[in-house]
Amino acid sequence: MITIHENFDIRKLTTFGLPAECGRFIEYTGEDDLQKMRAEGILRDALPLGGGSNMLFTTGSFPGTVIHSTSRESLLRPQSDGSVELTLSAGYPLDEACAMAARVGLWGMENLSGIPGNIGGAAVQNVGAYGTELKDLLKSAVCFDSEVGELVRLSNGDCRYGYRDSAFKHMEYPCRLIVYAVVLRLAPNGAPNLAYSRLAKALEGRSGLTPMDVRRAIIALRNQKLPDPAKVGSAGSFFKNPVVSAAEYERICARYRENMVAEDGNAQADADQLVPGHVNASGEVKLSAAWLIDHAGCKSFSVGGAALWPSQPLVIVNADGHATGADVVALEERIRRRVQSVFGIDLQPEVIHIP
Ligand SMILES: Cc1cc2nc3c(=O)[nH]c(=O)nc-3n(C[C@H](O)[C@H](O)[C@H](O)COP(=O)(O)OP(=O)(O)OC[C@H]3O[C@@H](n4cnc5c(N)ncnc54)[C@H](O)[C@@H]3O)c2cc1C
């Protein structure tokens, strides 16, 4: 079923809670609705909105059409290899799916517990937390191909997943491939992924762990660090963690050490210890954007109603509930300039900017 609203206020459909209106807002459920919108030429210029938890409407007034799936179906299907397939329609909330999987004792989704948004958006963003990314579970994504007007099935490989990246983010226009349903592969006899040290510590000494135990631990850890979207507006981590070559990492460390020595003549610390980095399998180094922001001295920055969340400076929040998209963009630019001048790194936003 299609419902159309003209000049619609979508502020409450985003977790940032910034002023946001769109020219037309269309809610839909099934493939027929997508066919209808395609026939009317709507999909060429429209923007898909899931749970609005990674979106920043920069001007507060988006003149175009926003489309939103209200379909929330789920199906669990045991497979002959012992795994269980969970099929979710695009509008299914990710955290509800994590809760459902944990309740029935299926492993795989528990580390993604507490992430806002819907499974369609999660498949686009390749959400990740505590050592698990959606790509680790996704078997296939059923998408509506707006060019040919039919449902197509993309394998995990077809989705070309990377760090908060996927093929969906590199299409000619946002509705070219609309995620319609996602198929995840879960394990009834799995084991907890405790690669993340704070999670391992939180569950230390516990035996016979269930997916629900891990889910509860994850939610407790998230509550310590992140704002509750029901109380404080944000879009989660605002910037991506930069990934740099080993040579670039050396340069960043040397530059930071020089700055430290210039500020404090006694600074003798080893540069490698100064800028923490995690070397990945390909030899590249992943830096912590939160650490860079903190050590560039940005933690207390604010513009209008936009500020950084004290326990996690990677998160820009709508601190007083009255911030605007322009406040957030001005704060973002201020942080990027400062991090660039201290470390020579151009932080890239994770949050999607809609003009
Ligand atoms: C408090 C908080 C904590 C967060 N923590 C994390 C975290 O730990 N890890 C993490 O990775 N992210 C995190 N996020 C970010 C966010 O929740 C995820 O990126 C989420 O998966 C986005 O899903 P969504 O449904 O809200 O998508 P939206 O924000 O609505 O959309 C995201 C993108 O996907 C596109 N899109 C949405 N639905 C579809 C569809 N059906 N078909 C095609 N394109 C579509 C949109 O056009 C947009 O480009 C957090 C956000 C908040 C507010």
Point out the residues that are catalytic. 164, 237, 350
- pLDDT band for 267, please (50, 70, 90 cuts): low
Q: How far is CA 185 from the centre of its chain?
A: 20
Give the span between the Cα atoms of 294 and 298, in whole angstroms.
Answer: 6
pLDDT in tens, 26-65: 999 999 999 999 999 999 999 999 999 999 999 999 999 9
Please give the pLDDT value at position 266.
56
Give the span between the Cα atoms of 114 and 67, in whole angstroms.
Answer: 24
Does the beta carbon of 179 lie inside 6 Å of ligand 1? Answer: yes
Give the span between the Cα atoms of 270 and 253, in whole angstroms.
Answer: 9
- pLDDT band for 273, please (50, 70, 90 cuts): low
Closest CA to ligand 1's atom 33: 121
Does the beta carbon of 91 lie inside 6 Å of ligand 1? Answer: no
Give the span between the Cα atoms of 29 and 45, in whole angstroms.
Answer: 19
Atom of ligand 1 lying closest to residue 16 CA = 53
Please give the pLDDT value at position 55.
97
**Strand, helix or coil for residue 24:** strand
Q: What is the mean pLDDT of residues 205-215?
A: 96
Does the beta carbon of 87 lie inside 6 Å of ligand 1? Answer: no
Residue 348 has pLDDT above 60, yes or no: yes
Give the span between the Cα atoms of 18 and 40, in whole angstroms.
Answer: 31
**Which residue did the predictor score with more confidence, 107 or 264?**
107
Distance 346 CA to ligand 1 centre (A): 23
The strand pairing partners of 66, in sequence order, are: 25, 47
Give the span between the Cα atoms of 71 and 33, in whole angstroms.
Answer: 11
Does the beta carbon of 116 lie inside 6 Å of ligand 1? Answer: yes
Distance 165 CA to ligand 1 centre (A): 11
The pLDDT > 90 percentage for the chain reads 92
- pLDDT band for 270, please (50, 70, 90 cuts): low
Atom of ligand 1 lying closest to residue 169 CA = 49
Does the beta carbon of 129 lie inside 6 Å of ligand 1? Answer: yes
pTM: 0.95
Give the span between the Cα atoms of 153 and 280, in whole angstroms.
Answer: 31
Q: What is the mean pLDDT of residues 319-323?
A: 96
Please give the pLDDT value at position 271.
46
Residue 190 has pLDDT above 60, yes or no: yes
Nearest to 242 by CA among 268, 275, 270: 275
Atom of ligand 1 lying closest to residue 112 CA = 8
pLDDT in tens, 86-125: 999 999 999 999 999 999 999 999 999 999 999 999 999 9
Residue 285 has pLDDT above 80, yes or no: yes
Please give the pLDDT value at position 349.
97
Helix boundaries (H) for the chain: 31-39, 94-103, 119-125, 197-202, 211-225, 246-263, 271-274, 289-295, 325-343
Please give the pLDDT value at position 259.
80
Please give the pLDDT value at position 150.
97
Domains of the chain: 3-69 (3.30.43.10), 74-225 (3.30.465.10), 233-354 (3.90.78.10)
Q: How many CB atoms lie under 10 A from the CB of residue 305?
A: 18
Does the beta carbon of 124 lie inside 6 Å of ligand 1? Answer: yes
- pLDDT band for 144, please (50, 70, 90 cuts): very high
Please give the pLDDT value at position 281.
85
Residue to probe by mutation, ligand 1, list 13, 33, 54, most atoms within 8 Å of CB: 54
